[in-house]
Structure 1
């Protein structure tokens, strides 16, 4: 069985009235959203509760929708003559905008060097002045950009020079410290650093044995029969 028909009158019970408002408000907002999506309609929904609380929904900006509503409302209240005048004014405005658009397109083609046949001498001179002015501004802008780029490169160069100088100073400091460490490990430096050590002079420890032969000459008159026997008149010896 379906529900019975609800009598449309103010609900006296405050709690029931608040519950009904909340349910039907949500349903109305949902239906407005579905209608805007399914039918691509522009919808603006404004709801004020009995306590003055605002609830709203808009498929687009609500202010634009309200302005559009006001313009339509104002146009519907105008007499037929006023509506015709308004339509004529809109047509004239559209015609002016169209003529301005065509003029801008024609000027753009002239600046590109196209459709120059219909132009007279004065118009060509004016176009030439416009092109010279545009070219001068473009050159000034190019020069400014080049100067800015050069200044940026110079700043980078100075920054790199500072970094190179710092690295060079650091490398020299590390090299000097490394040389000092190497010098402390040399033998002469170790001997000089020890007060009780002695320095080895070259060729002081060289001692090689040498063989020396001494010849003892005996004169003939000193020779006697007694010592001509087994005694050797030569002496061999080691000498240092």
Structure 2
């Protein structure tokens, strides 16, 4: 039984090991290729970036310079459009905020006006002096006459003074 298990383990190591090694080797080769491709793409992107920044343009033909210029102009147009959109959105937000603040200001002004009115009423009632009746009325000498009958008749019976 022991010999059978040992043969099985040797067989599985040799069989799977060689198959597994071939798969690992193919996988490694694939990743090396992918890595080389990515390195090439990175290099091309760096060269393109340098050209867009205006570096290393000495070896560029006029057609390539024209393409770079057109690409930069398209990019600037897109950037300006986005900037305009953002400014427009900010202006709308600020206008809405202004309307909201104006409404709040109107509400607060009404409250203050109402409170000032109440305060002035309270102040005027508290500041009034209570004046006795004798001091508050003015004395005037008034002549009165007592008439009997209709006022047109003009008959006077008893004139009275004060």
Task: State the TM bucket, normalised to the shorter chain.
Answer: 0.5 to 0.7
- Unmatched segments (≥5 aa) in structure 1: 1-71, 205-240
Which residue is equivalent to 2:34? 93
| Count of equivalent residues | 123
> Which residue, 11, 17, 21 being the options, matches 1:76?
21
Structure 2 residue ranges without an equivalent (≥5): 1-16, 142-162
Partners in 2 of 1:113 and 1:202 — Cα distance?
105
Within 5 A, what are the aligned runs for 1:13-32? none
**Structure 2 counterpart SS, 1:114:** coil
Is 1:137–2:82 an aligned residue pair? no
C-alpha separation in 1, matches of 2:118 and 2:28: 94
> Which residue does 1:120 correspond to in 2?
61
Report what 1:151 is aligned to. 92
User: Does residue 176 in structure 1 map to residue 117 in structure 2?
Assistant: yes
Distance (Å, rounded) in 1 between the aligned partners of 2:109 and 2:31: 78
1:181, distance to aligned residue in structure 2 (A)? 2.1
Deviation at 1:178, TM superposition (A): 2.0
Q: How far apart, in 1, do the equivalents of 2:54 and 2:33 lie?
A: 32
1:25-51 Cα shifts (integer Å, max 9, x gaps): xxxxxxxxxxxxxxxxxxxxxxxxxxx
Higher normalized contact order (CA 8 Å, seq sep 6+, divided by chain length): 2
Pair 87,167 (structure 1): closer, same or farther in 2 beyond 3 Å? closer
Give a deviation string over 1:18-75, Cα, whole Å, max 9, x none: xxxxxxxxxxxxxxxxxxxxxxxxxxxxxxxxxxxxxxxxxxxxxxxxxxxxxx8754
From 161, 183, 195, give the equivalent of 2:102.
161
| CA-based RMSD | 3.2
Name which one, 1 or 2, has greater alpha-carbon Rg.
1
TM-score (norm 2): 0.61
Q: Choose the corresponding residue for 1:200, options 137, 153, 160.
A: 137
For residues 109-167 of structure 1, what are the alpha-carbon distances to aligned partners after superposition, in whole Å with 9 as ceiling and x for unaligned?
Answer: 11111111111111111111110111111111111221122122222212221221111
